[in-house]
Amino acid sequence: MNILIASSEVVPFAKTGGLADVCGALPIELERLGHRPFVFMPGFRSVYTAGQPVEPLGVEFNIPIGSKISKGSLAKSVLPGSEVEVFIVQQPEYFERAELYREAGEDYPDNCERFVFFCRAVMESIRFLDLQVDVLHGNDWQAGLLAAYLALEYRRIPGFEKIASLLTIHNLAYQGNFSHWDMALTGLDWKHFNWQQMEFYGRLNLLKTGLVFADALNTVSPSYATEIQSSDLGCGLEGVLRHRAKDLSGIINGVDYDIWNPESDSRIAKNYDVTSWKEGKSECKKSLQKAMNLPESDGPLVGLVGRLASQKGWHLIIEVMKTLVSRFDMQWTILGTGEPEYHRALKELAEAFPDKVGIELGFSDDLAHQIEAGSDIFLMPSQYEPCGLNQLYSLKYGTVPVVHATGGLADTIINLDQESQLQKTATGFSFYEYHADALLAALRRATDVYSHNPDLWQQIVTNGMQQDWSWSQSARAYISLYERLIDRKASASVDQCSDE
């Protein structure tokens, strides 16, 4: 199968979150399994400093954006350790900026225009490069228009008739919601600006557009696929999703163990595996404490890595830290960047308790690995979590996750309760009500076991380390989804022919 994967983020070229990890790893696994994936992404500034060679292809295109024409070109790279081609859509004015989507807390005002350009450029590239595509796999709102362009414009062009489209939702809360005037930029007929297609309460919504026009939809965990059909987590799109329920599924993300593995991770102080985790972790913990200017201490070290966005539960975390930090022998290491209010609150805590709280308010791949390896407990009290990757990394690094049982966190962490203790299957601690008291109770349960029941702690750690969340399983699930889609498309076109 030939699969075109379009994403605004791809590791190692550009990343703000899990979307990048997925779109950097899934194609490599698809290739390993005998398929031909190729990736399309925008030529952001970070693409050129990612350490992979980028070669111009000499392909230039003129893309209509409303009443003007924007010029762009294509370059090519490959995903490290593979032959997967990465096509880079270049347009320096749109893409070579300090950040990917926003600066100083404000979205770039021309985000709609930038991703209209990206999606049209992808469609045009299929023609220019004469790519044989079986599945057009878009990711998130930035690629939402692809399915609409395919269905409304390109389908009639020879070569495009049988392409099946899939849209993966990595986070429903980010929708690409723009002024209705931006509809003109898309070049699509205004008749599609209606509540059943591209309009969302008077605005243009690019994620909804993808949800309506793609042949199939998936998201990154089975629980999240169900949750987003409810008004609680549907972000206003629950109606569309319920309407498309039979075309919507959930596939848990995998982990790239070439990057996230304590046995081979070159960014951590000492490598370790399931037999040597105690010694390894103890070295990594000391080195992390040093890096974060914390004194050595035997109490549990709690790690957090993530966007400082309300989704990730920072309100609860800060409340719980305020309760625990002065009273208990535990330390915190936090890496993240995002909303200014959380930057402020975390800085205050770190200043007030320099021996207990170490923070780094920025983005650092190295430190993310060091926190995974050096912490004893990893906290993910997300209000909602489509899949979550850090809890999966934590399992591998023997860092026991404490999570809110939602979305992918509910699907991947086995809470320590009576039953799992009896069956010796627990991998972490979950809480069920999204409330600071519930988080506090879960964290206290975890620290109690850590301090007073080392055998049980050892069992939870090793259960997690022995699990396999590698991409091979998830990639196979994607392959069967692609195959079902292609079959459906083929039989639909046979039906169409026999109708004619």
Nearer to ligand ADP, 183 or 389 (CB): 389
Question: Is 144 an interacting residue with respect to ligand ADP (CB under 6 A)?
Answer: no
Question: Is 306 an interacting residue with respect to ligand ADP (CB under 6 A)?
Answer: yes
From CA 219, how far away is CA 210, in angstroms rounded? 13
Residues 6+ apart with CB under 8 A from 426: 414, 415, 416, 417, 420, 459, 460, 463
**Beta strands 331-335 and 301-305, pairing class:** parallel
Cβ of residue 435: shortest distance to ligand ADP, in angstroms?
21
Nearer to ligand ADP, 117 or 469 (CB): 469
Cβ of residue 427: shortest distance to ligand ADP, in angstroms?
17
Q: Report the candidate in 213, 212, 233, 214 with the shortest Cα–Cα distance to residue 223.
A: 233
**CB distance 378 to 303 below 8 Å:** yes
Instruction: Tell me how far CA of residue 362 lies from CA of 111, 337, 338, in angstroms.
Output: 23, 5, 8
- Which parts of 449-488 interact with ligand ADP (CB under 6 A)? none
Question: Is 399 an interacting residue with respect to ligand ADP (CB under 6 A)?
Answer: no
Residues 6+ apart with CB under 8 A from 241: 211, 217, 228, 229, 234, 248
Applying CB under 6 A, among 43, 176, 300, 336 the residue interacting with ligand ADP is 336
Which span (101-109, 117-125, 333-341, 488-496) binds ligand ADP, by CB under 6 A?
Answer: 333-341
Which span (39-47, 290-298, 303-311, 342-350) binds ligand ADP, by CB under 6 A?
Answer: 303-311
Question: Is 364 an interacting residue with respect to ligand ADP (CB under 6 A)?
Answer: yes
Cβ of residue 235: shortest distance to ligand ADP, in angstroms?
14
Question: Is 373 an interacting residue with respect to ligand ADP (CB under 6 A)?
Answer: no
Question: Is 433 an interacting residue with respect to ligand ADP (CB under 6 A)?
Answer: no
Q: Determine the size of the site formed for ligand ADP (CB under 6 A).
A: 19
Provide the 3-class DSSP secondary structure of residue 130: coil
Nearer to ligand ADP, 61 or 397 (CB): 397
From CA 388, how far away is CA 72, in angstroms rounded? 35
Question: Is 187 an interacting residue with respect to ligand ADP (CB under 6 A)?
Answer: no
Question: Is 337 an interacting residue with respect to ligand ADP (CB under 6 A)?
Answer: yes
Element spanning 102, H or E: strand 102-103
Provide the 3-class DSSP secondary structure of residue 499: helix
The string of DSSP letters for 342-357 reads HHHHHHHHHHH-TTTE
Applying CB under 6 A, among 363, 420, 421, 486 the residue interacting with ligand ADP is 363
Binding positions for ligand ADP, rule: CB under 6 A: 17-19, 21, 171, 305-307, 335-337, 363-365, 368, 387-390
